[in-house]
Structure 1
Amino acid sequence: MLLLAALLATAAWSCGFAQEIPIQSPISITKLKKSAQMICEIQALGGNFDGIIHWYQQKEDKAPERLLFFSGGKMVVDTGFQANRYLVEKVPDQNQYVLTIKDVIPNDAATYYCAYWDMTGYYNKVFGSGTKLIVSDKGSSAPVKSEILKKKHENLITYVCLIEKFYPEVIRVTWTDGEKEITDNVGKGDAWKPAKEEEYSIGSWLTIPAENKNKNYYCKYEHESQQRSLPTKDSTETSREEDCSTYPGNGTVFNRDHLMHRTAYLVYIVLLLKSSMYYLIVLFFIYRMWASTKHQGKKA
């Protein structure tokens, strides 16, 4: 859904002008009957911005719909919305605008975009990155577990970064080499959650030449106010028989559930891969894990 803002921003560049994209916080979690607030900031416009601000509401799998516009200190709510539930205020001496939704109900759950008309050159409406409003009584929770799995295949090494059990689902995952962000040979699946669970998980992968095996890369994630970087030098070699644990009185117990969870997740990643090279690498990885499971099962 947030792809809308990126597409609209790209359209602005295509005309030869680079407008400033309004800055919005990515997510807002609000309980039922409480008030939700979303900030829109217009930066680097050479002074105080006094133009018209528009707010759009986009529900999942639907086109954006204008909610209201704010001009000269006055707000006008579009037909189809309850005017008494919305409020827009401009922060004094700043180019910040705050949208408040009162008495939040489940139907308010959507992504809200602020926008303005830029009249330098062509007449373009520039959209912000969007704020996703989640209506829930559940508070945010940081990832319970995160790790990097490693697999070498011929002259390539693939690192799979797994981040598990977090809420809400909005999370940013990037790869760096310690100095700058890596964008080549990087992939990321969508956040997903098992049935009957509320926490989400996500996976991202990086493929590098085998000659760079001694170089340290980092999988970095940002979720709510938490940030963490995982170094690849601490990654788990997947060819190792790693899911065996010894418990007092029980001998060696093979944790099939944990391994099958990883395998199922990697199958999901394979379905998202577009490159046949990546497909073969990860498929080989899954086969090795399946073979290890079968072998260990006979020993149990």
Structure 2
Amino acid sequence: VVHWYKQKEGEAPERLLFVSGGKVAIESGFQANRYMTEISSVQKQCVLTIKDVIPDDAATYYCAYWDPHLIGYYNKVFGSGTKLIVSEKSSSPPKNSEILQKKHGNQIMYVCFIEKFYPEVIRVTWTEDEKEVTDNVVKGDTWQSEEDEYSIASWLTVPAESEDKKYYCKYEHEEKSTSLPTQADSVKTASQEEDCRTVFNRGNLMYRLMHRTAYLVYIILLLKSSMYNIIILFFIYR
């Protein structure tokens, strides 16, 4: 059984339909003739098609299924979601994309900056030898740089001895997908036209990074305080 949920911004998700035994059951409140589903057992995917899209269809759509995690217990697993944007404005690819680098001590920070695209849905990843890099990667949220245009930044921190390695910042937008190499003449250093701090300040990224760092420090201090209290109690009541 495969379920599809619709979630509008700021609202709880509601089930749109479910597929069981090859039959589709549409929930009340939705027009049955506007939705089609196709399940491929070979590719292990379920496709939802919406006909005659209207502004009210703008939402994030999730597929879900019941997973028999344990004997006698089922866990509903949700997909990452697909955001549907309904707008009269035509989509446009990023007008500019670049990588900045900043060397600090025994580390190098690469900042991938992608700006002025529409809509705001975009996927940004870092790769090395065609393998995705997830360690020491921070991705900022998209922010509106101008009217109906969005920008985003993502940064990767690596050891200084990895300076000769070639990393790629890959972005995927509905209008364009490309990869930017860190080993290229177009990569700027902080001493050139633009410092990395300038990039962070765009869209208030530095504030977000500091807020996240402060939160992590708070958690660490809280854990240390808890451990200290446990040790004190141990010696008191031993």
Normalising by the smaller structure, the TM-score range is 0.7 to 0.9
Please report how far the alpha carbon of residue 90 of structure 1 lies from its aligned counterpart in structure 2 after TM superposition: 5.2
* Helix, strand or coil at the partner of 1:104: coil
Please report how far the alpha carbon of residue 179 of structure 1 lies from its aligned counterpart in structure 2 after TM superposition: 4.7
**Residue pair 1:73, 1:89 contacting (<8 A) in 2 also:** no
Query: What does the per-residue CA deviation read over 1:38-59, in whole Å, with 9 as the maximum and x for residues that have no partner?
Result: xxxxxxxxxxxxxx32211011
Please report how far the alpha carbon of residue 208 of structure 1 lies from its aligned counterpart in structure 2 after TM superposition: 2.0
Query: What does the per-residue CA deviation read over 1:124-168, in whole Å, with 9 as the maximum and x for residues that have no partner?
Result: 223233222111223332221110111222332211110112222
Please report how far the alpha carbon of residue 93 of structure 1 lies from its aligned counterpart in structure 2 after TM superposition: 8.6
Query: What does the per-residue CA deviation read over 1:41-87, in whole Å, with 9 as the maximum and x for residues that have no partner?
Result: xxxxxxxxxxx322110111222111122334443322333444434
AA in 1 matched with 2:90: G
* Helix, strand or coil at the partner of 1:275: helix
Q: 1:74–1:224: structure 2 CA closer, same or farther, 3 Å change rule?
A: same
How far apart in 1 are the matches of 2:7 and 2:45? 21
Match of 1:109 in 2: 58
- Choose from 151, 157, 172 the match for 2:123: 172
Pair 1:145-2:83 in alignment:
no
How far apart in 2 are the matches of 1:159 and 1:207? 6
Q: 1:174–1:78: structure 2 CA closer, same or farther, 3 Å change rule?
A: same
How far apart in 2 are the matches of 1:271 and 1:205? 15
Match of 1:238 in 2: 190
* Helix, strand or coil at the partner of 1:67: strand
The 5 A counterparts of 1:57-68 are 57-68=6-17
Q: 1:232–1:129: structure 2 CA closer, same or farther, 3 Å change rule?
A: same
AA in 2 matched with 1:157: I
Q: TM-score, normalised by structure 2?
A: 0.73
How far apart in 2 are the matches of 1:162 and 1:238? 14
Gaps of 5+ in 1: 1-51, 244-258, 277-300
Please report how far the alpha carbon of residue 227 of structure 1 lies from its aligned counterpart in structure 2 after TM superposition: 2.8
Q: 1:216–1:92: structure 2 CA closer, same or farther, 3 Å change rule?
A: closer
AA in 1 matched with 2:180: L
Q: 1:108–1:149: structure 2 CA closer, same or farther, 3 Å change rule?
A: same
Pair 1:207-2:207 in alignment:
no
Please report how far the alpha carbon of residue 97 of structure 1 lies from its aligned counterpart in structure 2 after TM superposition: 4.3
* Helix, strand or coil at the partner of 2:183: helix
Higher strand share: 2
**Residue pair 2:116, 2:150 contacting (<8 A) in 1 also:** yes
How far apart in 1 are the matches of 2:129 and 2:205? 25
The 5 A counterparts of 1:1-300 are 52-89=1-38, 97-119=46-68, 121=71, 122-195=73-146, 197-224=147-174, 226-234=176-184, 235-240=187-192, 242=193, 262=199, 264-265=201-202, 268-273=204-209, 274-275=212-213
Q: 1:82–1:145: structure 2 CA closer, same or farther, 3 Å change rule?
A: same
Q: 1:158–1:90: structure 2 CA closer, same or farther, 3 Å change rule?
A: closer
Aligned-pair Cα RMSD in Å: 3.0
Q: TM-score, normalised by structure 1?
A: 0.60
How far apart in 2 are the matches of 1:209 and 1:91? 44
**Residue pair 1:56, 1:112 contacting (<8 A) in 2 also:** yes
Query: What does the per-residue CA deviation read over 1:199-239, in whole Å, with 9 as the maximum and x for residues that have no partner?
Result: 21110111222233233222122222633221212210121
- How many residues are paired up? 207
Q: 1:182–1:263: structure 2 CA closer, same or farther, 3 Å change rule?
A: closer
Q: Which moved more, 1:118-127 or 1:178-187?
A: 118-127
**Residue pair 1:111, 1:133 contacting (<8 A) in 2 also:** yes
Percent identity between matched residues is 63
Q: 1:53–1:264: structure 2 CA closer, same or farther, 3 Å change rule?
A: same
How far apart in 2 are the matches of 1:210 and 1:92? 46
